[in-house]
Amino acid sequence: MSLLGKVRIGHKAPDFHCEAVIKGVIKDVTLSTYIHPPTKPGVTNPDAPWLIILFIPAAFSFVCPTEVLAFQNCLDEFKDRRSSVVFISVDTKHSLWHWQNVPRQFGGLGMIDIPLLSDATHRISRDYGVLIEDEGVSLRGMFIIDGAGIVQQITLNNLTVGRSVLEALRLLEAFQAVAKHGVLCPIDWKPSDNAQDTLNTIANTLTESYEERLANLQKEFEGVPVTDLDAKHRSQEDSKETSVDGESEDSETAIDLTPRLSVDVDSKSNPPPHAIQEISCHRPKHTSQAHSPRNDCLPYPPSPPPLFNTKSFDTNGTFSASASQSAQNTLMPTLESSKISEVQMTARHARGTLP
């Protein structure tokens, strides 16, 4: 997939610097080698040379030689119209040099006058938006650049379809007629047979101004009004800009007219609203050995007394049976207090026989 890079119609063409094979010799070329933009702004040179850049996928292919040789055969036609033609490929300069020095009967180009520019780094193809990143080759793009370095036309073909030399000539002549005479070229506009007459005349072009054509169209329709859509669109844009400017000015000088509540000093007539009080539930916390912070909200049963307290031992440190018996009595309530009528003791069956 290819996306248009830095190139835009109506804007300056991206500059480049690379090596080219020109008549069997390898030279350094740039965009300024073929076109000479004016140094002073607002100054145009009607006789400035133009440039046509054609990208090709690869050398020694099937379609590319047919395009290069076709433009080579019509190169004088482009020179008569003050335009240069160059081909750019992603091949290295050595491959392009070999392609030019191999005779045509063996698959080469032979000696040609059209420069073959090497874009081995893919920078030019990427800047002009013709590089297929996945495959590393360029689409068949054609760019017409006027004498001021402005891109006037872009054509992109897929790899399998070549371009037309006659269409390239027609587009070049049309854009040159527009640049020199300020006319409009309708569909399928073609100049006269003589190239010099094409540069000096405006045959077959639309010489009427926009207002004159609209007036003539209004006469043809007689009573039916013809709406100038361009003027209507411009008026709508102007009205939008005016409204936006007016809103911005009003917002700067706007006065806050929002009604506000007045507070009466007399608190009796207008008592303040009751404040919302936060009510929290406090439960007494029971201290026990199993106390945990996450159980603060749960009721705690009374802690059982210890099985053996300090009273179970006498002063000499020996165990007292009477004290132990009193501790057991406190742990095990009587049958009357617990309302248990009968306690059945069941002995577990033990393995083996009793002695």
Q: List the catalytic residues.
A: 64
Long-range contacts of 120-123, Cβ-Cβ distance < 8 Å, separation of 24 or more = 120/90, 120/91, 120/92, 120/93, 122/90, 123/16
Find all residues with CB under 8 Å of 159, minimum gap 6, and list them.
57, 63, 137, 139, 140
Q: SS3 of 241, please?
A: helix
Is the torsion defined by CA of 218, 221, 225, 227 positive or negative?
negative
C-beta separation of 54 from 144 below 8 A: no
Q: How far is the C-alpha of 26 from the C-alpha of 20, rounded, in Å?
A: 5
CA distances from 154 to 13, 124, 138, 142 (A): 11, 15, 14, 6
CA distance 71 to 97: 18
At a CB cut-off of 8 Å and minimum separation 6, what does 185 contact? 174, 177, 178, 205, 206
Compute the distance between CA of residue 6 and CA of residue 31 in angstroms, rounded to an integer: 15
Q: How far apart are CA 65 and CA 71, in angstroms?
A: 10
SS3 state of residue 17: strand
Which residue type is seen at 249? E
